[in-house]
Structure 1
Amino acid sequence: MLDASILASLRCFDVAARLLSFTAAASQLHLTQSAVSQQMRQLEQRLGYPLFVRQHRRLQLTAQGQALYRSVSAALQDIDSTLQQLARQDSVLHISCAPSFALDWLMPRLSAFQQQYPAIPVRLRAEFQRMNRQDMLAAGVDVSIRYDPDEMADLPGIPLLDEVLLPVASPALLAAQPALATANSLTRLHDSAAWDGAPPFAEWDCWQQGAAAEFRFAPGAWQEREYNLASLSLAAACQGQGVAMARAAQVLELLQQGRVQQLFPATVAAPARYVLRSLRPEDRRVQLFCQWLQQQCRQFARQRQQLLGV
């Protein structure tokens, strides 16, 4: 049943079903609207059932059309992904990573990966938005790393590292305001969107709810200062501008250096964790990077346990 003519029609059907418009499909395929419409009618005649319900100025897929679209779309995506993979067996490994994790944790360690695997060049891109299968295909991303509380239905993830939260401030600020924890003038520094779609103050609220009562901040007229990166709120804390709700992956080295200090001996499990996703986990480059990264995460978890006890 699969021959050159039907394969061309299925490609045309995939675009028309995704856009639900013969006119839009024609524009994308560089064909005329009538040519697309004729191909779809010929495909329906060959299959023996309708794929579209043709309404005034819009299309709707029939039940058979929906089933065929799911199958054709997935097959074409897999073919395209395989072609891209084969074309770049010895090319750059493209990694899309949550910005603060990329800046504060991954980037300082990447030189070790490059030394171990010099034949696998890496390009690291810091990006906020979540990426599903289609996003990764469109952007040419091999590996996506996100700080995320959710699993994505169309792309299974590999958990890398659980995260814990702790409030920190500069030693100078703590020395100047020893009663900072109960002060109504507390300036809270925070990431305005801890992850894509996170509510405001998600990590502060999580810590307040999870910490023992004696460690919670007293309610009061808090001043708020928000940033679009957790790295920026942590940098502001280092400069004595307030108290940041920090993630251990970002703050552990600063604690060891004495640039910030914990306000309380209390950490709370974060509502999100770092997750890796890849379209082609069987790609040798992806496998080597994933194995190396998991080893780095295990090593960091041991260091965190030694310093923070979690």
Structure 2
Amino acid sequence: MTPRQLPLYGLQVFEVAARHMSFTLAADELCLTQGAVSKQIAQLEQQLGYPLFHRQVRRLVLTSEGEALLPYVTRALATLGKGVEAARLARDHLRLKAPSCISRWLLREIMQFRKEHPEIEVEVTSVHEHDVDFAKEPFDLAIVFGPVPARQPRQTALFREQLTPVCAPALLESFGHSLNEPEDLVRFPLLHASRDRRDWTLWLKSVGAKGVNPASGQLFDTLDLAMNAAQQGFGVSMADVVLLEEELKRGTVITPFAQTLFTGNGYLLALPAARRTAEAAQLLHDWLAARHPLSDEPQPGPVPGETSAQAMP
């Protein structure tokens, strides 16, 4: 008998009857009549070609064939049950990879998504890398950093990188200086998110600041660490205004200057191209894309929570 010919339902009835050693108790568990259970066992025995039970007065006894078959059927049904559960979890479980620098922004988004879709579990892996290789990594969806508009297939832009200096309000008081012009930065420690100090270099050049050394200050290995240090009053960091939108609204950080820099890059949703998209991944992808529709061109405007940094007495 080939696997395709196996009478799975009959084997399930056999396992229940053998566990109870009673057609009556098996019928109760399976919500059948005692006669239906007896008929299923008789049909199974006919298909297999050997008896499974000795039917004695008021009790059942397994035959030698039944004793040999039962442990295999038990294990097989348990394995099938695990498979069905794994398939259910695969449908409702989503593995998302994202750069660590967007962790706070992403946490707020995921918490809102879970409120609307509590049946979907989102497992987030936060890493320093800004890209993904779906052929080698076990993710269903990723947020990557790259050129905007997207140049790769199966990528959807979420938002453009928009950089400007930020600091804690208490920093100005502790230093006793104002931050009215970019040149005033020479009096404050700069915080950097990369060894090449690229963000500060680009922004200072874009505003034509003179006399401020972009190579000075404290170095961190991620944008998130630099932004955290700025919030704690250790200096002035370049920051993406989208990633700090909530902090800017609350006033835990301020933006001393109106000038922002669009770098041409941004954060994009990436789906695997070589395999079918998981239902949960497609749902989160579409949900995020709908919440963050991107215009064709960057639209410079006031920074969220923009605050003029005045001189402290």
TM-score normalized by the length of structure 1: 0.59
User: 1:1-40 maps to which residues of 2 (within 5 A)?
Assistant: none
**Residues 139 and 263 of structure 1: CA distance in aligned 2, closer, same or farther (over 3 Å):** same
State the partner residue of 1:307: 304
User: 1:166-185 maps to which residues of 2 (within 5 A)?
Assistant: 166-175=164-173, 176-180=175-179, 181-182=183-184, 184-185=186-187
| 1: CA distance, partners of 2:214 / 2:262 | 26
Q: Please tell me whether the aligned partners of residues 281 and 287 of structure 1 are also in contact (alpha carbons under 8 angstroms).
A: no
> Which of the residues 152, 158, 171 maps onto 1:160?
158
State the partner residue of 1:187: 189
Deviations, residues 185-228 of structure 1 (Å, cap 9, x unaligned): 431102116xxxxxx122112212322x3xx3633496321111
| 2: CA distance, partners of 1:202 / 1:220 | 12
Q: Please tell me whether the aligned partners of residues 186 and 222 of structure 1 are also in contact (alpha carbons under 8 angstroms).
A: no
Q: CA deviation at 1:115?
A: 2.1
Q: CA deviation at 1:173?
A: 1.6
Aligned residue pair count? 211
Amino acid aligned to 1:104: R
User: 1:1-310 maps to which residues of 2 (within 5 A)?
Assistant: 89-101=90-102, 103-132=103-132, 135-149=133-147, 155-175=153-173, 176-180=175-179, 181-182=183-184, 184-192=186-194, 200-211=196-207, 213=208, 216=209, 218-220=211-213, 223-279=216-272, 280=275, 282-298=277-293, 307=304
**Residues 238 and 217 of structure 1: CA distance in aligned 2, closer, same or farther (over 3 Å):** farther
More helix by share: 1
Which deviates further from its counterpart, 275-284 or 259-268? 275-284
Q: Please tell me whether the aligned partners of residues 165 and 246 of structure 1 are also in contact (alpha carbons under 8 angstroms).
A: yes
**Residues 170 and 244 of structure 1: CA distance in aligned 2, closer, same or farther (over 3 Å):** same
| 2: CA distance, partners of 1:151 / 1:217 | 32
| 2: CA distance, partners of 1:308 / 1:169 | 12
Q: Unmatched 5+ residue regions in structure 2?
A: 1-85, 307-313
Amino acid aligned to 1:100: C
**Residues 230 and 117 of structure 1: CA distance in aligned 2, closer, same or farther (over 3 Å):** same
| 2: CA distance, partners of 1:154 / 1:265 | 33
Q: Please tell me whether the aligned partners of residues 143 and 276 of structure 1 are also in contact (alpha carbons under 8 angstroms).
A: yes
Between Structure 1 and Structure 2, whose CA radius of gyration is higher? 2
| 2: CA distance, partners of 1:235 / 1:93 | 28
Deviations, residues 224-270 of structure 1 (Å, cap 9, x unaligned): 21111211111111222111001112222222111121121111113
| 2: CA distance, partners of 1:266 / 1:221 | 17
Q: Unmatched 5+ residue regions in structure 1?
A: 1-84, 194-199
**Residues 128 and 152 of structure 1: CA distance in aligned 2, closer, same or farther (over 3 Å):** farther
Amino acid aligned to 1:145: I
| 1: CA distance, partners of 2:131 / 2:156 | 14
Q: Sequence identity, in percent?
A: 23
RMSD of aligned residue pairs (Cα, Å): 3.2
| 2: CA distance, partners of 1:148 / 1:190 | 20
| 2: CA distance, partners of 1:241 / 1:128 | 23
Give 3-state SS (helix, strand or coil) of 2:106's partner. helix
